[in-house]
Copies of this chain bind each other. A is one copy, B any other.
Amino acid sequence: MGESLFAARGYAGVGMREIAASVGLSKSSLFHHFPTKLVFYGEVLDRALERLERALCEETEHPGAPAEQLDHWIASIVGTLAESAPVARLLLRSMVDEDPFPPIEFEPEGRESMPFERRLEAVIDRFRRLLEHGIEEGVFRPVSVGDAIQTTIGAIVFHFASGDLGEALIGEPIFSGSAVERRRQEVSNFIRRGLLA
C-alpha cells in the first residue's frame, strides 16, 4: 500500500489523496489509520525492510564458511529485492533522503514496531560481523569493512532501483527471470573476487 508510489516519486512526490485513491479509499480514511503522513511512510518502509530481514534470517541461520555465507546472503538479498519491484527503490531512497523518518514513538501498546533505522542497522551489523569474521580467518582480504559494505549495498540495491536506465543498460527488463539470475551470479562473482584473499 503506497509502496510503488513512494518508490517511484519519493516521500514528497506523493500525496495522501493519491495513495488513498490507489487503494480505493478516501483520504480521511487513511488518516484514520495513520495519524500522520510521516508515520505512514515509516510503516511502509518498515514493512519492506522487514521482508528483507526475514529472508536474511532464514538464509543465514545455518552457519558455514564465510565465503559460502556471503553467497547465501547475496542470493537472499537479490531474491528479496527481485520479488517486488518497489523494495529496492524504497530502500535506496531511505538511505539517500535527508531525515524523513518518524521519530521514535512511545510504543502506544506492546507493539513490535522496531523503528526503521534500528532495523536497518541490525541487518547491516550482521553483514559487518560476517566480513570481520572472514577477515580474521584469513579467507577475506583485510579490506576496509565499512567500504566493503557500502560497495555491496551500492552494487546490489542500486541495480534493482535503476528502472529504465538499468533496463537500457542490460538490454532486458530488470525483473525478468533471466536478468535476475544473471545479476545474482555477476554480483556474487564480483564481490567474491573483491573479497577473497
By a beta-carbon cutoff of 8 Å, the part of chain A in contact with chain B is 8-13, 89, 92-93, 95-98, 120-121, 124, 143-144, 146-151, 153-159, 161-163, 165-166, 168-171, 182-183, 186-187, 189-191, 193-194
Q: In the complex, what residue of chain B is closest to A141 when comparing beta carbons?
A: B189
Interface SS majority for chain A: helix
Kindly list chain B residues whose C-beta atoms are within 8 Å of the C-beta of A150: 155, 158-159, 162, 166, 169-170
In the complex, are the beta carbons of A146 and B162 less than 8 A apart?
no
Given A10-B13, A98-B8, decide whether A186 and B154 contact each other with a Cβ distance below 8 A: no
Q: Specify how many copies of this chain sit in the oligomer.
A: 2
Chain B CB within 10 Å, residue with most, of A96, A149, A165, A190: A96
In the complex, are the beta carbons of B89 and A124 less than 8 A apart?
no
Question: Cα distance A1–B10 when bound, in Å?
Answer: 22
Q: In the complex, what residue of chain B is closest to A161 when comparing beta carbons?
A: B96
Chain B CB within 10 Å, residue with most, of A143, A150, A166, A191: A150
In the complex, are the beta carbons of B9 and A97 less than 8 A apart?
yes
- Candidates B9, B98, B120; contact of A98 at CB < 8 Å: B9
